[in-house]
Amino acid sequence: MKFCHECGYKLEGYEKVCPECGNELKNPEDTEYFVESIFNQFLDDMNHLKNNTLEMLDDIDIGDAFDDFSKNSKKALNRDEFYIYRARKKLENSGDNQRVIHLCNKALVIDERNWEAYYLKGRALINVGRYDEAIEELINSLALNENNIKAREYIARASFLKGDLDYANDVYDSVLNIDDKNFDALNGKALVYFDKKDYLEADKFFKKASIISPLSASSKTKWDFCLKKLKEE
């Protein structure tokens, strides 16, 4: 069964233009758009029913009941997970950070305890330079899932990028207390010490990180600079 993604009109399946509203029909491969349009049509119908009921009964409790029903229906259909799936894909593939933030917010309306929504939103906020907000969202994620070590890494990264080197160093230490061979934490501490001009400590952590995984070109350049400075002393 197929429907027009614009007005919800039931289609036979061969139409290129909706006979009801005249809208050009989407390619059937556009599954995500199609599924969302049907679900949104359902929600529009529910909201219309809610408003009509309120006009008849003038009872705010009825409105709250419909709002709860709408929210619980989305949750029962794993709608928040659908938003998270899309946010994850957007973050990994397109770099559309504003869209990621929007999708995570929609997921959190459905389930305010969705730790991954806070986590992905925090990462997207880092990418757009909103470091304080990112740290807040990542702390929320960590509060709901203390085993999410990546949240700690990104808290440290956001702190480093905003120039709070001491806090970044402390958070990287908390990661290493859990996993003493964590590459991102070791490399992160090296970068912190480099910015502090403590080249001896930076050299130590660059060395530890390089044993675990190859350094990026940027980290290699900074490590070479450390070694040069240490030779001059």
SS3 state at 1 = coil
Q: What is the pTM of this model?
A: 0.69
Nearest to 219, CA basis, from 179, 189, 177: 189
DSSP 2: E
Instruction: Name all domains of the chain by residue range, CATH numbers in brackets.
Output: 1-77 (no CATH), 78-146 (1.25.40.10), 164-233 (1.25.40.10)
4 contacts 12 by C-beta, under 8 angstroms: no
pLDDT band at 55 (very low <50, low <70, confident <90, very high): low
| pLDDT tens by residue, 177-226 | 999 999 999 999 999 999 999 999 999 999 999 999 999 999 999 999 99
Closest CA to 120 of 98, 147, 138, 96: 138
Confidence at residue 210, expressed as pLDDT on a 0 to 100 scale? 97
Residue 2 has phi, psi (to 5 degrees) of -125, 155
The pLDDT of residue 33 is: 56
pLDDT over 70 at 52, yes or no? no
Over the stretch 129-175, which tens digit does the pLDDT of each residue have? 999 999 999 999 999 999 999 999 999 999 999 999 999 999 999 99
